[in-house]
Homo-oligomer: A and B are copies of this chain.
């Protein structure tokens, strides 16, 4: 695989100087255009020690306007990082749209080193590489331009380079004992590198192998490729977006709803087929006396479990979704009132702010992964993508369709980290909703809860029900199952939710 990167390619100082001069102008211009584009550029630098990764990154920063470049490198995990799912640190550092993020040592480093050192076998290595593939695909699907450079040196060339660096007073700090240790393991590294490149080089996130023997040649090559790729990607993105917009307009025109001043009391449109929601037994209730008793018991149980979880560093994430007026807030309150205020956070989600909009839609949720031992309650969540954004046309069809897979992967990472993840859909039927809406209208301190949007959403009952059915079908996994809650009787719903939380926490703590 690396034969073509041991050909001794180089460039004369004169040619280099000439090329760099025009290249810099081009790069600066491109960067300015990029700032107006709706995609980020992600550059991964990897390769053999001493092959010039650091120097190349320095040159890219020098040639371009470093204000629009984020440089990232990772060494040990900080404790804040270690307390969260593994990819948190990378999500945290992803560049927003219009910016370039350079990753020197990246999500590739740990699996690569671990495999070369023999700490993970091939199957585990492949699994970790597959995780990378999903990660990069998720970003590329959202429009990101991903460029990955593997800087290569032959074994002899590497030795020569390390020795040369050691002789240079200003450079010798670059050579560590580890570098020499790795040089002795050269063949193992090459093998690990081949597999890595083979498995993770994709059309949307290709590896480019760069011969590192001549540092001028190498850095020029990288910079030229960056330049060309941005120009190409920008052109392609423009065409794509235009096509998608046209499609969206066409769909909108097709679906234009008949404007009808609806009778509020009229029954909502129902789907002609059964769904997971229509199959729920909505008559379930619980007596007031036994509710009071069981509520107290469950809250006591939850309190003790939560403290145990906190001591052991077990985090929980509870997701609450449901139709308007289904009682999410009341359910959440029954949980939080059993907890120490120090141990939980309730995060309500509405439309994203502009910083959030400049990133992948999952970014803001990654940002809110809490530290070890806490309970984080999401009042609405990443499922907005396949619910409100789908039904209201804020996301294109291709966007919300691929979101299911992205969400499953996201949740898998949360669960793999050891977090308890529970998802609740609180359901009420259309009659119950109507009754609650009307009650809100006449109760002064509940009026703020009822908006015109609630009435509009109600008219789309069937569409939302279909979306919920799809969501359960596609995202209720054994690791992160949905709990559908019959919510017509608030008391019944609250007990069911509390019981589910307690059982899950208890199970998780027993496993520990």
Q: Residues of A at under 8 Å CB distance from B?
A: 25-26, 28-29, 32, 54, 57-58, 61-62, 65-71, 73, 78-80, 102, 104, 170, 173, 300, 303-304, 307, 329, 332-333, 336-337, 339-342, 344-348, 353-356, 371, 379, 444-445, 448
Contact = CB atoms under 8 A, between A and B. Distances in A.
A103 B364 CA distance: 24
Nearest to A74: B342
B62 A337 contact: yes
27 contacts: A25-B444, A28-B445, A29-B444, A32-B448, A57-B341, A58-B340, A58-B341, A61-B336, A61-B337, A61-B341, A62-B336, A66-B336, A66-B346, A67-B329, A67-B379, A71-B342, A71-B344, A71-B345, A73-B341, A73-B342, A78-B78, A78-B79, A104-B341, A170-B303, A353-B353, A354-B354, A355-B355
Contacts of A62: 333, 336-337
Contacts of A32: 448
A80 to B, nearest CB: 5
Contacts of A354: 353-355
Most buried by B among A67, A73, A300, A337: A67
Contacts of A69: 346
Contacts of A79: 78-80
A321 B25 CA distance: 25
A342 B104 contact: yes
Given A61-B336, A303-B170, A336-B62, A341 B54 contact: yes
A70 B69 CA distance: 33
Nearest to A58: B341
B340 A54 contact: yes
Main secondary structure of the interface of A (DSSP, over half): helix
Nearest to A26: B445
B341 A71 contact: yes
Contacts of A445: 25-26, 28-29
Contacts of A173: 304, 307
Contacts of A26: 445
A69 B170 CA distance: 53
A91 to B, nearest CB: 16
A222 to B, nearest CB: 13
Contacts of A25: 444-445
A69 to B, nearest CB: 8
Nearest to A349: B67
A445 B31 CA distance: 11
A35 to B, nearest CB: 9
A170 B344 CA distance: 18
Given A79-B78, A307-B173, A353-B355, A337 B58 contact: yes
Contacts of A333: 62, 66
Nearest to A65: B329
Nearest to A45: B341
A341 B104 CA distance: 9
Contacts of A342: 54, 71, 73, 104
A352 to B, nearest CB: 10
B102 A341 contact: yes
Contacts of A339: 58
Contacts of A307: 173
Give the most central of A66, A70, A80, A355: most B CB within 10 Å: A66
A497 to B, nearest CB: 15
A450 to B, nearest CB: 12
A80 B89 CA distance: 13
A173 B343 CA distance: 14
Given A65-B329, A104-B342, 13 more contacts: A54-B341, A62-B336, A67-B332, A67-B347, A73-B342, A78-B78, A78-B80, A78-B371, A170-B300, A173-B307, A353-B355, A354-B354, A354-B355
A471 to B, nearest CB: 22
Contacts of A80: 78-80
A75 B71 CA distance: 32
